[in-house]
Amino acid sequence: SWTASRDDRKVVSYDVYQGGVKLHSVGGAQTATVVTGLRPGTRYSFTVRARDAADNLSPAAGPLALTTAAGTGAGRDTAPGDFRATSHASGGAYYLDLSWVAPRTDGTVTEYGIELDGRPATSLVWGANAPRDRASYSFYAGTERGVRHRVRLRARLPDGTWGGWSAERTVVTGAGR
C-alpha cells in the first residue's frame, strides 16, 4: 500500500514495479494492491509511480524491499525435472550429455547453471529460441575413462532469481548411463 499522490490533472492510475519491471497498474482511487506468484525465501523490491491524465509519470516511490517467508519445498517447484545424465566418447575425449524438462514458470527460462562435482562448471544461455519442454546439452569432461562425476543444474527464472536444483545424478565417463 502507499499514500495517495496529488496532481493538478488528476491521478488516473498507479504503476507497480518489481525491480525495474512493471507488474501491473491499478486505478487512481486505489492505494493498495496484491502481488501474487512470489516464491518462498526470495528477496523482492517494489516501487510505485503515479500516472496523471496527461500520461505523465511521477518519480518512483520506494523502493520497498522485502523477503518472503521460507517455504518447505526448497524450490523443488522451480527445479528442472526429469534430469538425466549420460556419457559418450568422441575423438579421444569424453563428454557428459545432460537432458531435462524446463521448469514451468510465468515466462521462458533462457539460462541454466550447471554444477559439476559440487562446483559451478558452466552457464548455459539460450537466446530467443530457448526450449520450453525437454532441453539438452553436452559438454567436455576430459580424456580419462572411468571418472565418476556428480552433476546437477538449476534455472535462472524469468524474474532473475535462481530456481531450485535438479536431482543430482552420477555419471562415469565411458560407461554410458
Kindly report the average pLDDT of the chain as a whole number. Answer: 88
Note the maximum CA span of the chain.
75
Q: How far apart are CA 139 and CA 120, in angstroms?
A: 13
The residue ranges of every structural domain in the chain are: 11-67, 77-172
Apex CA 167: angle with CA 165 and CA 172, to 5°? Answer: 120
Task: Report yes or no: 59 and 66 within 8 Å, Cβ to Cβ.
Answer: no
Q: How far apart are CA 161 and CA 38, in angstroms?
A: 11
Write the CB contacts of 138 (distance below 8 Å, at least 6 apart in sequence). Answer: 88, 95, 96, 97, 98
pLDDT tens-digit series, residues 18-32: 888 888 899 999 999
pTM: 0.58
pLDDT tens-digit series, residues 150-175: 999 999 888 778 888 999 999 999 87
Domain 11-67 identical in fold to domain 77-172: yes
Cis peptide before 158 (omega within 30 of 0): no
Going by CATH, does the domain composed of 11-67 fall within 3.40.50.1700? Answer: no
Cell digits of residue 155: 534455472
Q: How far apart are CA 87 and CA 149, in angstroms?
A: 10
pLDDT tens-digit series, residues 66-109: 888 765 444 557 899 999 999 999 999 999 999 999 988 878 88
Q: Which CATH number fits domain 77-172: 2.40.50.140, 2.60.420.10, 3.30.360.10, 2.60.40.10?
A: 2.60.40.10
